[in-house]
Every structure is written in structure tokens, then in C-alpha cells.
Chain A
Amino acid sequence: MNHKTDIVKAGEKNIEKTRTLETVLPPVDIYESEEEILLFADMPGVLKEDVKVNIDNGTLSLSGIRNLQPRGAARWEEFGDVEYRRNFSVPQTINVEKVYAELKDGVLKLHLPKSEAAKPRLIQINAA
């Protein structure tokens, strides 16, 4: 068990304590066709401007921050403000320039088109 015990209490170090968002893994579906890889990620309550999709050096990282703005007093609360975050490794054959994303009904749909060189090709056989 990697249970670390600090000699100095954390409360003494953090003079100004900031509220940290809980990070959760969004559930995803991944499909692949000859043209593209299609990724769906559930991010209910996340606004379009709070979603970040980043592809860097073969790593695709998704991040979405949910800000619920509750009203009144909570009688029960099963979900709160979270950050959805998940990383994937992307194959070299993806055309990074043409990646595009849509957000509808709290589901992020990410199209990752394959580059021309990676698409299957039918080779014509010439009669000798």
C-alpha cells in the first residue's frame, strides 16, 4: 500500500484553499470504419464552451467541465460539478487536421478521419 504520511499537515501548507473539482472518466463508445474512427463520450451538463479536445503527440485528451448552478437547498444530490477527463492514444494514421467534434444532448461526438494513405485501396490487376 502506497500510503503516504506527510510530516507537515496539509492544512498548514495550503494557506488559501481552492476548491478542487472531482475528476471522473466519461464512459465512451468507440467505432471504426474504413474512413474514420468515431468516438462518443457522455458528458451530461457540460456546455460547448467548456469542452476541450486536444490532440498532441499521439495523445487525444478530452476534458469537459460541468457547472450546474444549483438552486435552493439540496434534498439529495447524486451528481455535482465535475471535470470529465480522459486520454486516449491516437494511431498515426489519423488526419489530425480534419478532426471535428459535435456536442448534442450532453454527448460529445468526435470524428477522427483517417488519412488518405491509411484508407484501404482496391488494386486494379492489369492483364499481362
Chain B
Amino acid sequence: MLTRLSDINRLFNAMDFFRNRLDSLYSDADWAPGLRWSVEDRFPKTNLYEDGDLFEIRAELPGIGKEDLNVKIQGNYLEISGTKKSASPEKYAIHRTERDITSFTRSFTLPADVDSEKVKATLENGILSLTLPKSEAAKPKQITIA
């Protein structure tokens, strides 16, 4: 079975290799970043960090104000959604529009339950940071040896 899996991995590696090669054909030309051989992602990129008894989620949300963002938490389920108002200024001719994400929703299952009362959210320089303290049951515990 292990050999079968490694065959599949090799196949995917080969596919990645060809995709990267095809992408590199574009790197010389001034193509839009969205036009690639890979599937385009229409949701914000996120990072999840774990630091002792809290999690931190960061999401790339350029150009979105805090009034256009929604964050929902229930147990270990987290949902971030938002809409971007059309930034296109009036009386301007359009040459290029590459940053055209208008609305998105992304949901996560966190590795442990979090205390939804103590969650803190900040939006700075287009990056949303959510500090999510783990719930009491999920916190690491020191065990004293009797």
C-alpha cells in the first residue's frame, strides 16, 4: 500500500513540476497575477498559529474596512465573511482591474474549542488578526506528580 501512495505522490509532484514550468513562461510577460495555470483562489489566505493556550488566526484582507467584516465563532467553528464595496471611482476610465474580489466567506474548524467571550480581533494594514483563547477544557494542564 505504501508503494502505491508514493506512486500517487510522484504523479502529483510531476503535475506540480509542469504547472510551475508553465507558470514560469508567464513570468517574463506582464501578465495579471490571477492568470495562472493553477486554480484561482477566491477567498483570503489565512495563517493559524498556536501559542500555548491561545490560537491566532491572521487573514489577508486588503481594502476591507472593519464595518464590512463579519466574524462568527461557535465552539471550535469559526467563520469569516465580508464584502468589499466597489472601489471603482466615478468618471474614471478603467485600464486594469485585477483586485476584484467583492465578497467571500471562509470557515474553519479549529483544533480545539475556544472561549468566544475572550476573542479579540484587530484589523491593521489589511491583515485581520483574531486572538482566540482556548476554552478551559482545551488548555494545557500542568500535572503534579504525587
* Chain B residues in 8 Å Cβ range of A73: 49-51
CB of A65 within 8 Å of the partner chain: no
**Quick one: which of B58, B62, B63 contacts A68, CB cutoff 8 A?**
B58
Closest-CB distance, A6 to chain B (whole angstroms): 18
* Chain B residues in 8 Å Cβ range of A46: 125
Are B49 and A70 closer than 8 Å at their CB atoms?
Answer: yes
Max count, chain A CB within 10 A of own CB: residue among B51, B63, B99, B125: B125
* Cα of A73 to Cα of B54 in the assembled complex, Å: 11
CB of A29 within 8 Å of the partner chain: yes
Interface of chain A, helix or strand or loop or mixed?
strand
* Chain A residues in 8 Å Cβ range of B64: 105
* Chain B residues in 8 Å Cβ range of A30: 94-96
* Cα of A72 to Cα of B45 in the assembled complex, Å: 19
- Proximity string of chain B (49-89) to chain A, C-beta cutoff 8 Å, 1 when within and 0 when not: 11110111010111111000000000000000000000111
Are B47 and A76 closer than 8 Å at their CB atoms?
Answer: yes
Given contacts A31-B92, A33-B93, contact A70 B47 (CB under 8 A): yes
* Chain A residues in 8 Å Cβ range of B63: 40, 42, 105-107
* Chain A residues in 8 Å Cβ range of B93: 31-33
> Which of the four size classes fits the interface of chain A?
35 or more
CB of A78 within 8 Å of the partner chain: yes
A17-57 interface (Cβ within 8 A of B): 24-33, 37-38, 40-47
Are A75 and B92 closer than 8 Å at their CB atoms?
Answer: no
CB of B4 within 8 Å of the partner chain: no
* Cα of A80 to Cα of B93 in the assembled complex, Å: 34
Are B97 and A29 closer than 8 Å at their CB atoms?
Answer: yes
Are B127 and A106 closer than 8 Å at their CB atoms?
Answer: yes
Given contacts A38-B89, A47-B125, contact A106 B98 (CB under 8 A): no
Given contacts A75-B111, A79-B60, contact A33 B92 (CB under 8 A): yes
**Quick one: which of A32, A38, A70, A107 contacts B62, CB cutoff 8 A?**
A107
* Chain B residues in 8 Å Cβ range of A77: 47-48
* Cα of A128 to Cα of B46 in the assembled complex, Å: 70
* Chain A residues in 8 Å Cβ range of B96: 28-30
16 A-B pairs with CB atoms under 8 Å apart are A31-B89, A33-B89, A40-B87, A72-B49, A72-B50, A72-B51, A72-B52, A75-B55, A76-B47, A77-B47, A79-B47, A105-B61, A105-B64, A106-B62, A106-B63, A107-B62
